[in-house]
Amino acid sequence: MNEQKLEPCSCGGEAKVIKDVLGFWAVECKSCLTRLGVSDTKEEIIEAWNDMRRKEMTEEKLKPCPFCGKEPVYVADGKVICVCGATMRSFNDWKPFTNQEAVDRWNKRYKEQDDEKTD
Ligand SMILES: [Zn+2]
Ligand SMILES: [Zn+2]
């Protein structure tokens, strides 16, 4: 079985895939009952949920680029990438970052650059 993993809900609760009475798929949080629906396929609704969660995390957490000062920097496949070409990714190909780790590293670098400037 090749189940795609669901990101947890923004409330921290566990999300689950459900099938409604009409046979459509949806994702629902077990804690706060936030629901995202509906889709014809399970894969699609999982992808949509995870996408939504990734965007939420990005909006909350990602700082503008320390090099060009622009947004949008965005997160994909464990990398933060700016339009100017600046990236933050794992240098260990055998152990890539999760998107969240990449965002954390990116923000840490941003903060360091900021500290240098205040000199
Ligand atoms: Zn929730
Ligand atoms: Zn940039």
- For residue range 62-79, what is the model confidence (pLDDT) as tens digits? 888 888 988 777 888 888
Q: Which ligand is nearest to the CA of 85?
A: 2
CA of 69 to the centre of ligand 1 (A): 33
Q: Are residues 72 and 37 in the same domain?
A: no
**Which ligand neighbours the alpha carbon of 63 most closely?**
2
User: What pLDDT is attached to residue 2?
Assistant: 56
Mean of all residue pLDDT scores within the chain: 84
Smallest CA-to-CA distance from 77 within 59, 52, 56, 103 is with 103
Helix (H) or strand (E) holding 27: strand 25-29
Q: Quick check: 47 pLDDT over 90?
A: yes
Last residue of a domain, one of 12, 34, 54: 54
CA of 103 to the centre of ligand 2 (A): 14
Distance (angstroms) between ligand 1 centre and the Cα of 30 equals 7
Do 49 and 92 have their domain in common?
A: no
Ligand 1 center to residue 86 CA distance, Å? 33
Q: Based on the fold, state whether residues 2 and 25 are members of the same structural domain.
A: yes
* More confident site: 89 or 18: 18
Residue 1 has pLDDT above 60, yes or no: no
Return the higher-pLDDT residue of 75 and 7. Answer: 7
